[in-house]
Amino acid sequence: MELPVNVAVVLLPPCSSLGIGCLAEPFSLANRLTGKKLYDVKYYSWDGEPVALAGGLAFPVHGALRDGAACEQLFVLSEGIGGFAEAVFLQGTLARLSQRVSLMGGVHAGAWWLAAAGVLDGYRATIHWQENAQFAERFRKVIVSQHVFEIDRDRFSSGGGLAVLDGVLSLIGRRHGATLAEAIAEALCAERIRASNERQRVPLANRLGERQPKLTEAVMLMEANIEEPLTTDEIARFTGQSRRHLERLFKQYLDIAPSRYYLQLRLEKARTLLQRTNKSVAQIGLSCGFSSGPHFSTVYRSHFGMAPREERLLAEMSGGEKP
């Protein structure tokens, strides 16, 4: 009889019920769907006291972090990087536990605490996009990415929210097979399981601040009109500015012409469809605003260095899943 994987989830405020659910629910569903106890999840706080969640609720735990030392997998979940009095002791405990567990993970800002403990040195890791730049600046020995999640040897990290859902489904798929991971995703009404090499989607308004609402509005128009692209003149008119001013904004803040940015959006959408759906190349080309299959293939090869059919074949060889 297969013994369950002992999973310890360390909760460091601030955290939310949503964050906890996205991490733990896939493990729970794995048990329910198989009728077996594949995972035994327990929750811990630093001091063994209940953890205050957003909204004032208290989340009960099984004990203090030191009580979870016998676990096989350990995840640190936090949605902020604020310090606390025992931070140095926490880091020391995490460093010691990293030598015992088969997998140690950081969720949302949990990766910050793992990096502070030195257990991500030399590993690829990611963190929620809001902390990404600060994370990369602070921890120079960590190979920081902007992917939705990272699994590098015995380390796991994710951007939080739905990104951790994708990451945990990937972990379950690796251990118990893609069929179970897909069944869990279906039970959660997840459209698909994102791969680890997909980037976190950072809102343009956050990248620019709120300084350029006209530029943000123009990009939102582009994103909403992929199948039937607008002209640059139409975008300028719909956003209440001249074409010349629109082009100047794109050049100044994105270092690219509006038409080129729009083309890249359409090509990235096409790439996702090639990797994640069974639609034909011609259908994908048309749905992304290209007038013909040959034109789509030519532009795609020029941008990505391979034809659409080669992109699909590469995804299939690397294990990409399609509905």
Number of compact structural domains in the chain = 2
Binned at pLDDT 50, 70 and 90, residue 14 comes out as confident
Do 32 and 59 have their domain in common?
yes
**Could you tell me if residue 192 is inside a domain?**
no
Q: Report angle CA 177, 179, 185 to the nearest 5 degrees.
A: 110
Q: What is the pLDDT of residues 119-161, one digit of tens each?
A: 999 999 999 888 887 888 899 999 998 888 999 999 999 987 8
What is the DSSP annotation of 187-232?
A: HTT-S----TTSBP---HHHHHTTS-HHHHHHHHHHHH-SSSPPPH
Q: Is residue 306 located within the same domain as residue 157?
A: no
Residue 51 sits in a domain whose CATH number is 3.40.50.880
Check residue 147 and give its pLDDT: 87
161 and 14 within one domain: yes
Say whether both 219 and 307 belong to one domain. Answer: yes
Whether 151 and 221 share a structural domain: no
Q: What token pair was written down for 39?
A: 């995972």
The confidence score (pLDDT) of residue 80 equals: 84
- At residue 14, what are phi and psi to the nearest 5 degrees? -85, 145
The DSSP string of 42-111 is EEEESSSSPEEPTTS-EE--SEEGGGGTT-SEEEEEES-----TTHHHHHHHHHHHTTT-SEEEEEETHH
* pLDDT of res. 318: 54
29 and 85 assigned to the same domain: yes
Share of the chain above pLDDT 90, in %: 53
Question: Is it the case that residue 312 has pLDDT exceeding 80?
Answer: yes
Residue 162 has pLDDT above 70, yes or no: yes
Question: For residue 95, is pLDDT > 80?
Answer: yes
The dihedral through the CA atoms of 18, 19, 20, 26 has a sign that is: positive
pLDDT at 320: 46
CA distances, 172 to each of 55, 177, 188, 207 (Å)? 31, 7, 15, 33
The enclosing H or E element of 311 equals helix 308-317
**Amino acid, single-letter form, for residue 179:** T
What pLDDT digit, counting tens, does each position of 199-225 carry?
766 556 555 555 678 888 898 888 889
When the pLDDT of each residue in the chain is averaged and rounded to a whole number, the result is 87
pLDDT at residue 129, as a whole number? 83
The pLDDT of 267-292, averaged and rounded, is: 89
193 within some domain:
no
What is the band of 323 on the pLDDT scale with cuts at 50, 70, 90? very low
Range of the domain at 289: 204-317
Amino acid at 201: R
pLDDT of residue 44: 94
Instruction: Look at residues 120, 152, 187 and tell me which one is the last residue of a structural domain.
Output: 187
Give the pair of three-digit tokens for residue 302.
Answer: 């020029």
pLDDT given for residue 2 in this prediction: 77
- Among residues 152, 187, 222, the one where a domain terminates is 187
Instruction: List b or e across 99-121, with b for residues whose CB sees 16 or more CB atoms inside 10 angstroms.
Output: eebebbbbbbbbbbbbbbbbbbe
Over residues 285-303, mean pLDDT: 92
In a domain, 31, yes or no: yes
In a domain, 323, yes or no: no
Q: Are 184 and 29 in contact (CB under 8 A)?
A: yes
Both structure tokens of 95: 């460093």
For 151, phi then psi, to 5°, come to -125, 110
Work out the average pLDDT over 155-172: 90
Q: Which of 15-29, 49-63, 144-158, 235-249 has the lowest mean pLDDT?
A: 49-63
Q: What is the pLDDT of residue 1?
A: 66
- 162/213 same-domain check: no
pLDDT at 214: 86
CATH number at residue 257: 1.10.10.60
pLDDT digits (tens, 9 = 90+) for 32-44: 999 999 999 999 9
Give the pTM: 0.67
Residue 51: burial class (beta carbons within 10 Å; 0-12, 13-18, 19+) = buried
Burial (0-12, 13-18, 19+ Cβ within 10 Å), 215:
buried
* 136 and 88, same domain (yes or no): yes
Which of 137, 155, 187 terminates a domain? The answer is 187
